[in-house]
A = this chain, B = another copy of it.
Amino acid sequence: MTESFAVDRRYEAEARIRRFLDQENPSTPCLVIDLATIRARYQAIRAALPSIDIFYAVKSNPESDVVGTLVEQGSHFDVASPAEIDLCLERGAAPSSISYSNPIKKAADIAYAYSRGVRMFVSDSEQDVRFVAEHAPGSSVLVRILVHSKGSTYPFGNKFGCDPEMATDLLRLAHQLGLVPLGIAFHAGSQQLSVEGWDSGIADAALIAAKLRAEGIETSTVNLGGGLPAVYQASTPSLDDFAAAIESSIARHFGAVRPRVMIEPGRAISAEAGMIRSSVVLVSRKSYSDERRWVYIDIGRYQGLAETEGEAIAYALRTSRDGGPVGPIVLAGPTCDADDVIYQHTRYDLPLDLKAGDHVDILHAGAYTSSYSSVCFNGFPPLATYCV
Protein backbone atom coordinates (compact mmCIF):
# COMPACT_ATOMS: atom_id res chain seq x y z
CA MET A 1 0.00 0.00 0.00
CA THR A 2 1.62 3.23 -1.12
CA GLU A 3 1.47 6.31 1.03
CA SER A 4 -0.68 8.32 -1.40
CA PHE A 5 -3.18 5.48 -1.58
CA ALA A 6 -3.39 5.47 2.21
CA VAL A 7 -3.93 9.22 2.29
CA ASP A 8 -6.73 8.94 -0.30
CA ARG A 9 -8.34 6.22 1.77
CA ARG A 10 -8.28 8.47 4.82
CA TYR A 11 -9.96 11.34 2.99
CA GLU A 12 -12.66 8.99 1.72
CA ALA A 13 -13.28 7.64 5.21
CA GLU A 14 -13.51 11.11 6.68
CA ALA A 15 -15.90 12.12 3.91
CA ARG A 16 -18.19 9.15 4.64
CA ILE A 17 -18.21 9.98 8.33
CA ARG A 18 -18.95 13.66 7.67
CA ARG A 19 -21.80 12.72 5.35
CA PHE A 20 -23.35 10.66 8.12
CA LEU A 21 -22.94 13.50 10.60
CA ASP A 22 -24.42 16.05 8.21
CA GLN A 23 -27.42 13.85 7.45
CA GLU A 24 -28.16 12.52 10.92
CA ASN A 25 -26.90 15.39 13.05
CA PRO A 26 -26.60 13.24 16.17
CA SER A 27 -26.11 14.77 19.61
CA THR A 28 -22.52 15.39 20.52
CA PRO A 29 -20.24 13.98 21.65
CA CYS A 30 -20.31 10.88 19.51
CA LEU A 31 -17.91 8.48 17.86
CA VAL A 32 -18.51 7.44 14.26
CA ILE A 33 -16.77 4.33 12.97
CA ASP A 34 -16.24 3.78 9.26
CA LEU A 35 -16.47 0.02 8.76
CA ALA A 36 -14.84 0.25 5.32
CA THR A 37 -11.72 1.54 7.04
CA ILE A 38 -11.82 -1.37 9.50
CA ARG A 39 -11.84 -3.69 6.47
CA ALA A 40 -9.14 -1.71 4.66
CA ARG A 41 -6.83 -1.63 7.66
CA TYR A 42 -7.27 -5.37 8.26
CA GLN A 43 -6.54 -6.05 4.58
CA ALA A 44 -3.51 -3.75 4.59
CA ILE A 45 -2.00 -5.58 7.57
CA ARG A 46 -2.77 -8.96 6.00
CA ALA A 47 -1.18 -7.84 2.74
CA ALA A 48 1.94 -6.61 4.51
CA LEU A 49 2.20 -9.67 6.77
CA PRO A 50 0.78 -12.51 4.67
CA SER A 51 2.44 -15.26 6.70
CA ILE A 52 1.29 -13.97 10.09
CA ASP A 53 -2.08 -14.69 11.71
CA ILE A 54 -3.92 -11.55 12.75
CA PHE A 55 -5.74 -11.61 16.09
CA TYR A 56 -7.70 -8.35 16.44
CA ALA A 57 -7.39 -6.90 19.97
CA VAL A 58 -11.08 -6.56 20.74
CA LYS A 59 -10.37 -4.24 23.67
CA SER A 60 -9.28 -1.48 21.28
CA ASN A 61 -12.82 -1.17 19.99
CA PRO A 62 -15.42 -3.74 21.07
CA GLU A 63 -18.25 -2.29 18.98
CA SER A 64 -20.28 -5.25 17.78
CA ASP A 65 -20.24 -4.25 14.10
CA VAL A 66 -16.47 -3.80 14.19
CA VAL A 67 -16.12 -7.37 15.43
CA GLY A 68 -18.67 -8.59 12.88
CA THR A 69 -16.81 -6.86 10.04
CA LEU A 70 -13.58 -8.54 11.09
CA VAL A 71 -15.25 -11.95 11.39
CA GLU A 72 -16.28 -11.57 7.75
CA GLN A 73 -12.68 -10.74 6.86
CA GLY A 74 -11.41 -13.92 8.48
CA SER A 75 -9.68 -12.28 11.42
CA HIS A 76 -8.80 -14.08 14.62
CA PHE A 77 -9.46 -12.41 17.97
CA ASP A 78 -7.44 -11.50 21.07
CA VAL A 79 -9.85 -11.25 24.02
CA ALA A 80 -9.41 -10.11 27.61
CA SER A 81 -12.56 -11.39 29.33
CA PRO A 82 -15.62 -13.63 29.10
CA ALA A 83 -17.70 -10.70 27.79
CA GLU A 84 -15.31 -10.29 24.86
CA ILE A 85 -15.54 -14.03 24.14
CA ASP A 86 -19.33 -13.80 24.07
CA LEU A 87 -19.16 -10.79 21.75
CA CYS A 88 -16.94 -12.59 19.24
CA LEU A 89 -19.05 -15.74 19.29
CA GLU A 90 -22.28 -13.76 18.91
CA ARG A 91 -20.82 -12.21 15.78
CA GLY A 92 -19.97 -15.61 14.35
CA ALA A 93 -16.30 -16.04 15.23
CA ALA A 94 -15.19 -19.65 15.54
CA PRO A 95 -14.03 -20.56 19.07
CA SER A 96 -10.80 -21.76 17.48
CA SER A 97 -10.14 -18.22 16.23
CA ILE A 98 -10.02 -16.83 19.78
CA SER A 99 -7.01 -16.39 22.02
CA TYR A 100 -7.76 -15.57 25.65
CA SER A 101 -4.67 -13.42 25.88
CA ASN A 102 -5.14 -11.85 29.32
CA PRO A 103 -2.68 -13.57 31.69
CA ILE A 104 -4.86 -12.49 34.66
CA LYS A 105 -7.83 -14.82 34.72
CA LYS A 106 -10.15 -16.15 37.37
CA ALA A 107 -10.52 -19.92 37.42
CA ALA A 108 -14.22 -19.48 36.73
CA ASP A 109 -13.47 -17.36 33.66
CA ILE A 110 -11.09 -19.99 32.27
CA ALA A 111 -13.79 -22.62 32.79
CA TYR A 112 -16.31 -20.38 31.06
CA ALA A 113 -14.00 -19.82 28.09
CA TYR A 114 -13.44 -23.57 27.84
CA SER A 115 -17.19 -24.21 27.94
CA ARG A 116 -17.55 -21.84 24.97
CA GLY A 117 -14.91 -23.75 23.00
CA VAL A 118 -11.88 -21.52 23.53
CA ARG A 119 -8.67 -23.58 23.57
CA MET A 120 -5.88 -21.01 23.43
CA PHE A 121 -4.68 -19.15 26.52
CA VAL A 122 -1.81 -16.81 27.38
CA SER A 123 -0.25 -17.21 30.83
CA ASP A 124 2.64 -15.70 32.72
CA SER A 125 2.48 -17.46 36.08
CA GLU A 126 2.44 -20.90 37.62
CA GLN A 127 -0.99 -20.33 39.10
CA ASP A 128 -2.51 -19.48 35.76
CA VAL A 129 -0.93 -22.44 33.98
CA ARG A 130 -2.29 -24.73 36.70
CA PHE A 131 -5.73 -23.11 36.48
CA VAL A 132 -5.75 -23.62 32.70
CA ALA A 133 -4.70 -27.27 33.12
CA GLU A 134 -7.52 -27.80 35.63
CA HIS A 135 -10.31 -25.81 33.96
CA ALA A 136 -9.37 -26.03 30.28
CA PRO A 137 -7.64 -29.43 30.05
CA GLY A 138 -5.64 -30.12 26.92
CA SER A 139 -5.67 -26.50 25.78
CA SER A 140 -2.80 -24.62 24.20
CA VAL A 141 -0.75 -22.24 26.28
CA LEU A 142 1.48 -19.38 25.26
CA VAL A 143 3.71 -17.98 28.00
CA ARG A 144 4.27 -14.26 28.02
CA ILE A 145 7.71 -12.87 28.68
CA LEU A 146 8.68 -9.39 29.78
CA VAL A 147 10.47 -7.37 27.11
CA HIS A 148 11.77 -3.85 27.25
CA SER A 149 9.76 -1.87 24.78
CA LYS A 150 11.86 1.05 23.64
CA GLY A 151 10.18 3.15 20.98
CA SER A 152 6.66 2.69 22.32
CA THR A 153 4.37 5.60 23.16
CA TYR A 154 2.87 3.37 25.83
CA PRO A 155 5.71 1.22 27.19
CA PHE A 156 4.21 -1.71 29.01
CA GLY A 157 6.15 -1.53 32.26
CA ASN A 158 6.29 -4.88 33.95
CA LYS A 159 2.68 -5.68 34.71
CA PHE A 160 2.65 -8.56 32.23
CA GLY A 161 5.09 -11.32 31.48
CA CYS A 162 7.79 -13.09 33.42
CA ASP A 163 11.50 -13.49 32.81
CA PRO A 164 12.70 -16.03 30.19
CA GLU A 165 13.95 -18.54 32.79
CA MET A 166 10.56 -18.69 34.49
CA ALA A 167 8.78 -18.73 31.12
CA THR A 168 10.78 -21.77 30.07
CA ASP A 169 9.78 -23.53 33.29
CA LEU A 170 6.13 -22.62 32.72
CA LEU A 171 6.18 -24.17 29.24
CA ARG A 172 7.74 -27.30 30.78
CA LEU A 173 5.00 -27.26 33.40
CA ALA A 174 2.30 -26.89 30.75
CA HIS A 175 3.76 -29.90 28.96
CA GLN A 176 3.78 -31.92 32.18
CA LEU A 177 0.18 -30.98 32.91
CA GLY A 178 -1.06 -32.23 29.56
CA LEU A 179 -1.41 -28.84 27.94
CA VAL A 180 0.03 -27.95 24.54
CA PRO A 181 3.08 -25.74 25.20
CA LEU A 182 2.52 -23.51 22.22
CA GLY A 183 5.36 -21.06 22.65
CA ILE A 184 6.20 -17.55 23.75
CA ALA A 185 4.10 -14.38 23.69
CA PHE A 186 5.32 -10.87 24.33
CA HIS A 187 4.21 -7.30 23.81
CA ALA A 188 6.42 -4.63 22.28
CA GLY A 189 4.40 -1.81 23.85
CA SER A 190 1.38 -0.05 22.44
CA GLN A 191 1.83 2.45 19.57
CA GLN A 192 5.32 1.08 18.90
CA LEU A 193 7.07 3.48 16.50
CA SER A 194 10.34 1.58 16.05
CA VAL A 195 10.29 -1.17 13.42
CA GLU A 196 12.94 -2.95 15.54
CA GLY A 197 10.60 -3.01 18.56
CA TRP A 198 9.88 -6.73 18.18
CA ASP A 199 13.42 -7.96 17.67
CA SER A 200 14.48 -8.65 21.26
CA GLY A 201 11.24 -10.48 22.02
CA ILE A 202 11.61 -12.67 18.93
CA ALA A 203 15.20 -13.40 19.94
CA ASP A 204 14.15 -14.50 23.43
CA ALA A 205 11.32 -16.59 22.01
CA ALA A 206 13.68 -18.39 19.64
CA LEU A 207 16.18 -19.11 22.42
CA ILE A 208 13.47 -20.61 24.60
CA ALA A 209 12.09 -22.66 21.73
CA ALA A 210 15.57 -24.05 21.00
CA LYS A 211 16.21 -24.88 24.64
CA LEU A 212 12.90 -26.76 24.92
CA ARG A 213 13.45 -28.55 21.63
CA ALA A 214 16.74 -29.88 23.01
CA GLU A 215 14.68 -31.42 25.84
CA GLY A 216 12.20 -32.92 23.43
CA ILE A 217 9.46 -30.32 23.94
CA GLU A 218 8.39 -28.92 20.58
CA THR A 219 6.81 -25.49 20.58
CA SER A 220 5.22 -24.20 17.41
CA THR A 221 4.26 -20.59 17.80
CA VAL A 222 5.36 -17.08 18.69
CA ASN A 223 2.82 -14.40 19.55
CA LEU A 224 4.10 -10.89 18.73
CA GLY A 225 1.32 -9.16 20.67
CA GLY A 226 0.12 -5.70 19.76
CA GLY A 227 2.05 -2.53 19.16
CA LEU A 228 1.54 -1.78 15.46
CA PRO A 229 0.91 1.95 15.48
CA ALA A 230 -1.92 4.09 14.21
CA VAL A 231 -1.32 7.40 12.50
CA TYR A 232 -2.38 10.24 14.78
CA GLN A 233 -0.51 13.34 13.60
CA ALA A 234 3.13 12.41 13.01
CA SER A 235 3.67 9.86 10.28
CA THR A 236 4.78 6.37 11.30
CA PRO A 237 6.92 3.82 9.48
CA SER A 238 4.86 1.98 6.87
CA LEU A 239 3.35 -1.45 7.40
CA ASP A 240 5.83 -2.74 4.83
CA ASP A 241 8.71 -1.42 6.92
CA PHE A 242 7.34 -3.15 10.03
CA ALA A 243 6.76 -6.35 8.06
CA ALA A 244 10.29 -6.37 6.66
CA ALA A 245 11.84 -5.84 10.08
CA ILE A 246 9.65 -8.47 11.76
CA GLU A 247 10.19 -11.10 9.04
CA SER A 248 13.92 -10.40 9.11
CA SER A 249 13.98 -10.90 12.91
CA ILE A 250 12.05 -14.16 12.65
CA ALA A 251 14.35 -15.52 9.93
CA ARG A 252 17.46 -14.44 11.82
CA HIS A 253 16.46 -15.85 15.20
CA PHE A 254 14.39 -18.90 14.27
CA GLY A 255 16.40 -19.93 11.20
CA ALA A 256 14.99 -22.80 9.16
CA VAL A 257 12.26 -23.78 11.62
CA ARG A 258 9.81 -20.95 11.08
CA PRO A 259 7.13 -20.95 13.79
CA ARG A 260 3.49 -20.07 13.35
CA VAL A 261 3.46 -16.32 14.02
CA MET A 262 0.54 -14.46 15.61
CA ILE A 263 0.11 -10.70 15.94
CA GLU A 264 -2.55 -8.86 17.94
CA PRO A 265 -3.11 -5.41 16.41
CA GLY A 266 -5.77 -3.23 17.98
CA ARG A 267 -5.31 0.46 17.31
CA ALA A 268 -3.62 -0.28 13.96
CA ILE A 269 -7.02 -1.56 12.79
CA SER A 270 -9.53 0.55 14.69
CA ALA A 271 -7.98 3.97 15.38
CA GLU A 272 -8.08 5.44 11.88
CA ALA A 273 -11.63 4.18 11.34
CA GLY A 274 -13.10 6.48 13.98
CA MET A 275 -13.83 10.17 14.35
CA ILE A 276 -15.28 11.81 17.43
CA ARG A 277 -17.48 14.82 16.91
CA SER A 278 -17.61 17.15 19.89
CA SER A 279 -19.08 20.59 20.42
CA VAL A 280 -17.48 23.62 22.00
CA VAL A 281 -19.16 24.37 25.32
CA LEU A 282 -17.17 27.45 26.33
CA VAL A 283 -14.26 29.58 25.16
CA SER A 284 -12.78 31.78 27.87
CA ARG A 285 -9.70 33.32 29.36
CA LYS A 286 -8.64 33.23 32.99
CA SER A 287 -7.41 36.82 33.07
CA TYR A 288 -7.19 39.78 30.71
CA SER A 289 -3.49 39.07 30.14
CA ASP A 290 -4.02 35.35 29.40
CA GLU A 291 -2.30 34.52 26.12
CA ARG A 292 -4.09 31.25 25.60
CA ARG A 293 -7.80 30.78 25.35
CA TRP A 294 -9.35 27.87 27.18
CA VAL A 295 -11.55 25.82 24.89
CA TYR A 296 -13.91 23.47 26.74
CA ILE A 297 -15.54 20.76 24.64
CA ASP A 298 -18.31 18.32 25.56
CA ILE A 299 -16.01 15.30 25.76
CA GLY A 300 -13.05 14.82 28.05
CA ARG A 301 -10.97 12.23 29.79
CA TYR A 302 -14.00 10.58 31.41
CA GLN A 303 -16.16 10.23 28.28
CA GLY A 304 -13.59 8.51 26.11
CA LEU A 305 -10.40 10.56 25.78
CA ALA A 306 -8.61 8.47 28.40
CA GLU A 307 -5.52 8.11 26.24
CA THR A 308 -4.85 11.83 26.53
CA GLU A 309 -3.72 11.12 30.12
CA GLY A 310 -0.25 12.63 30.27
CA GLU A 311 -1.02 13.90 26.74
CA ALA A 312 0.35 10.58 25.43
CA ILE A 313 -1.82 10.57 22.33
CA ALA A 314 -2.07 13.91 20.53
CA TYR A 315 -5.06 13.59 18.22
CA ALA A 316 -5.45 15.71 15.10
CA LEU A 317 -8.32 18.19 15.46
CA ARG A 318 -10.58 19.82 12.87
CA THR A 319 -13.11 22.52 13.64
CA SER A 320 -16.11 23.91 11.83
CA ARG A 321 -14.22 27.28 11.62
CA ASP A 322 -10.98 26.02 10.07
CA GLY A 323 -9.43 28.30 7.49
CA GLY A 324 -9.11 31.63 9.29
CA PRO A 325 -6.45 32.89 11.70
CA VAL A 326 -5.64 30.70 14.69
CA GLY A 327 -4.16 31.11 18.15
CA PRO A 328 -2.93 28.94 20.99
CA ILE A 329 -5.41 27.19 23.26
CA VAL A 330 -5.72 24.85 26.20
CA LEU A 331 -8.24 22.10 25.47
CA ALA A 332 -10.34 20.80 28.36
CA GLY A 333 -13.30 18.54 29.05
CA PRO A 334 -16.71 19.41 30.48
CA THR A 335 -16.62 17.85 33.94
CA CYS A 336 -15.98 19.57 37.27
CA ASP A 337 -12.81 17.51 37.58
CA ALA A 338 -9.58 19.50 37.53
CA ASP A 339 -7.72 16.61 35.90
CA ASP A 340 -10.15 16.67 32.99
CA VAL A 341 -7.79 18.80 30.90
CA ILE A 342 -6.98 17.28 27.52
CA TYR A 343 -4.01 19.29 26.23
CA GLN A 344 -2.20 22.04 28.07
CA HIS A 345 1.45 21.14 27.39
CA THR A 346 1.06 20.02 23.77
CA ARG A 347 0.75 23.04 21.50
CA TYR A 348 -2.60 23.34 19.73
CA ASP A 349 -3.79 26.34 17.74
CA LEU A 350 -7.46 26.72 16.91
CA PRO A 351 -9.41 29.41 15.03
CA LEU A 352 -9.69 32.73 16.80
CA ASP A 353 -13.41 32.91 16.02
CA LEU A 354 -14.19 29.49 17.52
CA LYS A 355 -17.21 29.75 19.79
CA ALA A 356 -19.78 27.78 21.76
CA GLY A 357 -21.72 25.36 19.57
CA ASP A 358 -18.98 24.97 16.96
CA HIS A 359 -17.76 21.46 16.28
CA VAL A 360 -14.34 20.10 17.15
CA ASP A 361 -13.71 16.80 15.37
CA ILE A 362 -11.12 14.44 16.82
CA LEU A 363 -9.57 12.33 14.07
CA HIS A 364 -8.40 8.73 14.21
CA ALA A 365 -10.15 8.23 17.50
CA GLY A 366 -11.56 4.75 16.90
CA ALA A 367 -9.29 2.96 19.37
CA TYR A 368 -9.36 3.01 23.15
CA THR A 369 -12.06 5.65 23.40
CA SER A 370 -15.70 4.54 23.68
CA SER A 371 -15.09 1.53 25.91
CA TYR A 372 -13.15 3.67 28.41
CA SER A 373 -16.14 5.99 28.90
CA SER A 374 -17.29 6.27 32.47
CA VAL A 375 -20.83 5.14 33.21
CA CYS A 376 -21.91 8.55 34.48
CA PHE A 377 -19.08 10.60 35.97
CA ASN A 378 -20.46 14.07 36.80
CA GLY A 379 -23.74 12.89 35.27
CA PHE A 380 -22.36 12.83 31.72
CA PRO A 381 -23.48 9.81 29.66
CA PRO A 382 -21.05 7.38 27.99
CA LEU A 383 -19.85 8.13 24.47
CA ALA A 384 -22.44 7.17 21.86
CA THR A 385 -21.08 5.20 18.90
CA TYR A 386 -22.41 4.92 15.35
CA CYS A 387 -21.09 2.72 12.57
CA VAL A 388 -21.29 3.73 8.91
Contact = CB atoms under 8 A, between A and B. Distances in A.
Given A106-B356, A282-B104, A373-B374, A379 B82 contact: yes
Interface size on A, as a range, is: 35 or more
Contacts of A298: 106
Contacts of A4: none
Which one of A59, A80, A302, A374 has the greatest number of beta carbons of chain B within 10 Å? A374
A87 B296 CA distance: 25
A81 interface: yes
- Tell me how many chains of this kind the complex includes: 2
A160 B338 contact: yes
Contacts of A161: 286
Contact of A80 (B158, B375, B379): B379
A159 interface: yes
Contact of A128 (B80, B282, B375): B282
A208 to B, nearest CB: 14
A104 B377 CA distance: 15
A379 to B, nearest CB: 3
A107 B356 contact: yes
A327 interface: no
A23 B382 CA distance: 33
A336 B302 CA distance: 19
B376 A83 contact: yes
A287 interface: yes
Contact of A284 (B124, B157, B340): B124
B373 A335 contact: no
Given A162-B284, A283-B127, A83 B374 contact: no
B286 A166 contact: yes
B127 A378 contact: no
B334 A104 contact: yes
B59 A336 contact: yes
A77 to B, nearest CB: 12
A358 interface: no
Contact of A125 (B101, B106, B146, B282): B282
B379 A157 contact: no
A34 interface: no
A341 interface: yes
A131 to B, nearest CB: 8
Contact of A371 (B80, B146, B189, B374): B374
A129 B165 CA distance: 65
A105 interface: yes
Interface string A295-330: 010100010000001000000000000000000000
Which one of A81, A106, A126, A379 has the greatest number of beta carbons of chain B within 10 Å? A379
A125 B338 contact: no
Nearest to A341: B159
Nearest to A355: B127
Contacts of A125: 282, 284-285
Contacts of A58: 379
Nearest to A332: B159
Nearest to A373: B375
7 contacts: A59-B337, A82-B379, A102-B336, A161-B286, A163-B287, A302-B372, A374-B375
